[in-house]
Amino acid sequence: MTSANDTTGTGLVFHDRYLQHNTGLARSGSPAVPYPYADPEPHVSSPRTVSRSKHLIDLSGLGEQLTAVAPRYATEAELATVHDRAYIARVRAIAAQGGGDAGVNAPLGPDGFAIAALAAGGAIAAVDAVLAGTVRNCYALVRPPGHHAVADHGLGFCIFNNIAIAARHAQRTYGLQRIAIIDWDVHDGNGTQEAFYADGDVLFVSLHQDGLFPPDMGLLEQVGSGDGVGKTVNVPLPPGSGDAAYAAAVERIVSPIVRQFAPELLLISCGLDAGAFDPLGRMNLSSLGFRELTQAALALAEECCGGRLVVVHEGGYSQTYVPACTLAVIETMAAAAEPWPDPMLTRLLGTRTRREVGLDAERTITDAITMQRAYWRL
Ligand SMILES: [Zn+2]
């Protein structure tokens, strides 16, 4: 890794402690039901996808081009910009008692409070590095993820809402007003949506698989409330949408809205579970599709806010494909001269959803445009 003060470079936040976050063993269906086989299986949100992503970053040589950005522990006051004090105390108590569930399927072990605070602090450190000009953009490869966590409980493997806490940090510490968050995790970023639902200063745009998780969240008609009306944008794409539908949704909805909102900082909730082969998603994105999403984000950041872009790792569960897609995102951010050749890509380039927007996806995009035309020129 290069040293600091490289204002044109890309930063990477990582800490070995992220791999110590212990989600336990796999359960079948309900978290209360044990896995039915004798040989133990790791939890679907095991450390493996993040550790392999870091491994591939280093193995590919990309790591040498990145600036290491050290995470720190988010303070209680920082966590409390998004979460209730009672919830923060509860997570601390659960960890002190040896671990448990911070809400609904949000497991943590005895070190879980500290590690979750280090994940939130990793997103904060990425914002600091970009806003201080140490790097041009920054990827926070943190664990546990955050975008499902709401004010008073954890949800879907998320303990604290890392990206929402980072957005509040950017406003409070640097006096920024308008921040845009794009969430391309295959699940809806319900926690982030909820944190800013009535806030006109934070634009939240979510591309996700329709009807997946959580139930009844990320709906087209959820557009914000009060001062925040029109500042929540949901594009619930049908299963199987693929690269072409994502590119069309970005070109026709996401980019024009972000451009008109004109943020002072762009944040991305980067789930890799819309990737092909993911056991929890059915969106069939290729690593090239992730490169294209990242290029669109870079172009928006360039146009609106001097290239200031912070990308925060969220979900992603394919042990073989998440590392390739994570690498594709960071290589694009760093404008890597020789991208690592994704061995799975040739198979995906031939799929129809690489080239064509399906009829159902086209209908969703059209419906989202109709819904958002009340607030934006589309
Ligand atoms: Zn997800």
The full length of the chain comes to: 378
Whether omega for the bond prior to residue 71 falls within 30 degrees of 0, making it cis, is no
Mean pLDDT of the chain: 96
Q: Rounded to an integer, what distance in angstroms lies between the CA atom of residue 187 and that of residue 193?
A: 12
Beta bridge partners of 140: 13, 312
Q: What's the gap in Å between 19 CA and the centre of ligand 1?
A: 18
Task: Compute the average pLDDT of residues 276-304.
Answer: 98
Per cent of the chain over pLDDT 70 is 97
Q: What's the gap in Å between 250 CA and the centre of ligand 1?
A: 19
Identify the active-site residue in 15, 21, 147, 148.
148
The tens digit of pLDDT for each residue in 203-256 reads 999 999 999 999 999 999 999 999 999 999 999 999 999 999 999 999 999 999
| Helix, strand or coil, per DSSP, at residue 137 | strand
Q: Is 291 in contact with 281 (CB distance < 8 Å)? A: no
For 4, other C-beta atoms within 10 Å of its C-beta total 15
Q: Rounded to an integer, what distance in angstroms lies between the CA atom of residue 300 and that of residue 309?
A: 9
pLDDT score of 75 more than 60: yes
Nearest to 325, CA basis, from 268, 267, 251, 274: 274
Q: What's the gap in Å between 3 CA and the centre of ligand 1?
A: 33
**Complete DSSP assignment for 278-345:** -SS----B-HHHHHHHHHHHHHHHHHHHTT-EEEEE-----TTHHHHHHHHHHHHHTT-SS----TTH
Q: What's the gap in Å between 15 CA and the centre of ligand 1?
A: 21
Q: What does the DSSP 8-state code read for residue 48?
A: H
Q: What's the gap in Å between 104 CA and the centre of ligand 1?
A: 15
For 198, other C-beta atoms within 10 Å of its C-beta total 14
Q: Rounded to an integer, what distance in angstroms lies between the CA atom of residue 378 and that of residue 374?
A: 9
Q: What's the gap in Å between 132 CA and the centre of ligand 1?
A: 30
Beta bridge partners of 181: 204, 267
Q: Rounded to an integer, what distance in angstroms lies between the CA atom of residue 353 and that of residue 248?
A: 11
pLDDT band of 31, cuts 50, 70, 90? low
Q: Rounded to an integer, what distance in angstroms lies between the CA atom of residue 153 and that of residue 114?
A: 17
For 330, other C-beta atoms within 10 Å of its C-beta total 27
pLDDT score of 274 more than 60: yes
Beta bridge partners of 154: 103
For 211, other C-beta atoms within 10 Å of its C-beta total 14
The tens digit of pLDDT for each residue in 313-369 reads 999 999 999 999 999 999 999 999 999 999 999 999 999 999 999 999 999 999 999
Q: What's the gap in Å between 158 CA and the centre of ligand 1?
A: 10
pLDDT score of 276 more than 80: yes
User: What is the model's pLDDT at position 6?
Assistant: 45
- What are 256's two structure tokens? 């024009």
* Residue 148 a catalytic site member: yes
pLDDT score of 4 more than 50: no
- What are 87's two structure tokens? 């919830």
The tens digit of pLDDT for each residue in 142-185 reads 999 999 999 999 999 999 999 999 999 999 999 999 999 999 99
Per cent of the chain over pLDDT 90 is 92
Q: Rounded to an integer, what distance in angstroms lies between the CA atom of residue 252 and that of residue 207?
A: 13
Span of 3-12, 14-23, 110-119 with lowest mean pLDDT? 3-12
Q: Is 160 in contact with 79 (CB distance < 8 Å)? A: yes
Q: What's the gap in Å between 316 CA and the centre of ligand 1?
A: 6
Q: Rounded to an integer, what distance in angstroms lies between the CA atom of residue 220 and that of residue 302?
A: 28
Q: Is 155 in contact with 103 (CB distance < 8 Å)? A: yes
Q: What's the gap in Å between 242 CA and the centre of ligand 1?
A: 16
Q: What's the gap in Å between 271 CA and the centre of ligand 1?
A: 6
Alpha helices in the chain (DSSP H): 48-59, 76-79, 85-96, 112-131, 162-174, 190-195, 242-249, 255-261, 287-305, 321-333, 345-349, 352-355, 359-372
